[in-house]
Structure 1
Amino acid sequence: MPRDVQEELAPSLAANGQGGRPTILVFDSGVGGLSVYDEIRQLLPEAHYIYVFDNAGFPYGEKTEQFIVQRIIAITAAVTRQYPVSIAVVACNTASTVSLPALRETFDFPVVGVVPAIKPAARLTRNGVVGVLATRGTVKRSYTQQLVEQFAKECQIKMLGSSELVLLAERKLQGEQIPLHDMKGIVQPWLALPEPPDTVVLGCTHFPLLKAELQAVLPEGTRLVDSGLPSPEERSGYWKTDQPLAIRAYRISRIVRK
């Protein structure tokens, strides 16, 4: 295991609950995955949660696929030596697009991830123009292109990769105010289009933290679609529990000027 993984694991680990309940590992490169953790916790409040963020490897959007896969396997292995994990949730779009097959081959518990919400966005768009806001890593992954081919072939897909937004989200959680001119500069390529996207996929779990700022700079009426976990049917049977496993797959917001 990389030495910094061992050093960072202890301060990065947060768990609640006691034995006798399902133990859910939620993993991200930073704190963006807290949006996924919060939603799962609301519906499975009695579970035992472990939230791990790899602040030493952050941000993943600029890392190679090999680095991400090796890193996540090493950290997950370190957690499993201390806790009996029932299921792992990779709450990071960039990591999910490259690491899920390797994680499922390595560990004997179910592993699920988050994916860009291209499918529901394609159903929601009115003008046929869908924006995908993600890290540069997620934008260039073949998996993302496969989602477009499978679910949004009839749409104009406008990809926008930004690692700066990830850093801004982390700064906001530290209490900083995010200048709107910074946000506007990031989405300016869309604003300059004759017909901007009317539906935008937030393809990184950090980006919902900046929803208010995005709403302030995108055109009125733009729908923001958060990425989400697989459908309840895909998640069924992961473990036996009296708690429901239904987790909303996507959260949709609409920008309305007051």
Structure 2
Amino acid sequence: MKRVLIFDSGVGGLSVYQEIYAQLPGFQYIYAFDDAAFPYGELLESVLIERTLHIVSLLVERHSIDLVVIACNTASTVVLPSLRKNLTIPVVGVVPAIKPAALISKQKAIGLLATPATVKRDYTNKLVEQFASDCEVFRIGSTRLVEMAEEKLRGKAVSITELAEILHPWQDKVDSIVLGCTHFPLIKQEIAVAFGSPVHIIDSGLAIANRVKALLGEQATASSASILNLTYNSAANNHVAALNRSLQEMQLEAIQSLCYPKI
């Protein structure tokens, strides 16, 4: 049985996990998140690389992982070279879905919704130059949306009013929105309601799932019901009861703590 490690700073990577699991439920999944250092967008790159290498390498060895998914846009733009140098298995990252958004936009006006770090990175600028040079690209960098997604999985309702205020600068300006943070698909429905106007909302989850399938091939025929999919975090397990209920609905076991030090 193939084993896949999915890593993020928080629960955002669960949106990617859900896309992969929907295609390949016969694999074993280990979901790990570094909440002791959350959010990653505010870390020095050297610290981000050090923490990701430590946690990912530990779990790859512990569980004989076949493939790693870095389900965090911020981390993917920074740590992939180091991980690929240190690991002998495939490492898949995520990037904002700017190319498909540019192709689908009729107005040639797209909105990139991401973390403050991602909207500013040179890597993001290069994606825009390469795939959306014929488009006007508006950008909103928001840590608050990351917090909303985290809160939603812990049982707190998302404020449509607050979301609408964040998205207001794009009203009547864009016809496609790129969710450039893996947290944001967790509140995709709320984003659509808050925006109000018809809009294409695009994320990278399905593309990542297709990539994993291409690299690992077809799954075994074993029943997914017999597979224990594990969850790890780096902080102490405080106030996780509501989150564990959400994880259970996604066929993931309750959180185990790695207790990796805080920043």
TM-score range, shorter chain: 0.7 to 0.9
The yes-or-no answer on 1:207 pairing with 2:184 is yes
Number of equivalenced pairs: 220
Shift, 1:178, TM fit: 1.7
Is residue 101–residue 176 contact of structure 2 (8 Å, CA) maintained in 1?
Answer: yes
Q: Secondary structure at the match of 1:61?
A: helix
Shift, 1:215, TM fit: 1.3
Q: Secondary structure at the match of 1:144?
A: helix
Q: Secondary structure at the match of 2:89?
A: coil
Q: Secondary structure at the match of 1:221?
A: coil
TM-score of the superposition, structure 2-length normalised?
Answer: 0.79
Is residue 28–residue 52 contact of structure 1 (8 Å, CA) maintained in 2?
Answer: yes
State how 1:163-174 maps to structure 2 within 5 Å: 163-174=143-154
**Partner letter of residue 97 of structure 1?**
T
Shift, 1:243, TM fit: 5.6
Shift, 1:239, TM fit: 3.7
* Cα distance between partner residues in 2 of 1:39 and 1:217: 24
Deviation larger for 235-244 or 26-35: 235-244
Identical-residue share of aligned pairs (%): 45
Shift, 1:81, TM fit: 3.0
The yes-or-no answer on 1:85 pairing with 2:65 is yes
Match of 2:139 among 140, 159, 162: 159
Where structure 1 has 5 or more consecutive residues not aligned to the other structure, the ranges are 1-20, 245-258
* Cα distance between partner residues in 1 of 2:152 and 2:213: 35
Partner of 1:137: 117
Q: Secondary structure at the match of 1:27?
A: strand
Deviations 1:171-193 (Å, cap 9, x if unpaired)? 111111122221122112223xx
Deviation larger for 131-140 or 235-244: 235-244
Shift, 1:202, TM fit: 0.4
* Cα distance between partner residues in 2 of 1:230 and 1:83: 21
Shift, 1:227, TM fit: 2.1
Q: Secondary structure at the match of 2:106?
A: coil
Partner of 1:100: 80
**Partner letter of residue 40 of structure 1?**
I
Where structure 2 has 5 or more consecutive residues not aligned to the other structure, the ranges are 222-263
In the superposition, relative to structure 1, how do residues 225 and 239 fare at CA in structure 2: closer, same or farther (>3 Å)? Answer: closer
CA RMSD of aligned residues (A): 1.9
Match of 2:50 among 53, 70, 75: 70
Partner of 2:195: 218
Is the helix fraction higher in 1 or 2? 2
Partner of 1:182: 162
* Cα distance between partner residues in 2 of 1:61 and 1:187: 20
**Partner letter of residue 83 of structure 1?**
H
**Partner letter of residue 20 of structure 2?**
I
TM-score of the superposition, structure 1-length normalised?
Answer: 0.80
Q: Secondary structure at the match of 2:201?
A: strand
In the superposition, relative to structure 1, how do residues 149 and 243 fare at CA in structure 2: closer, same or farther (>3 Å)? Answer: farther
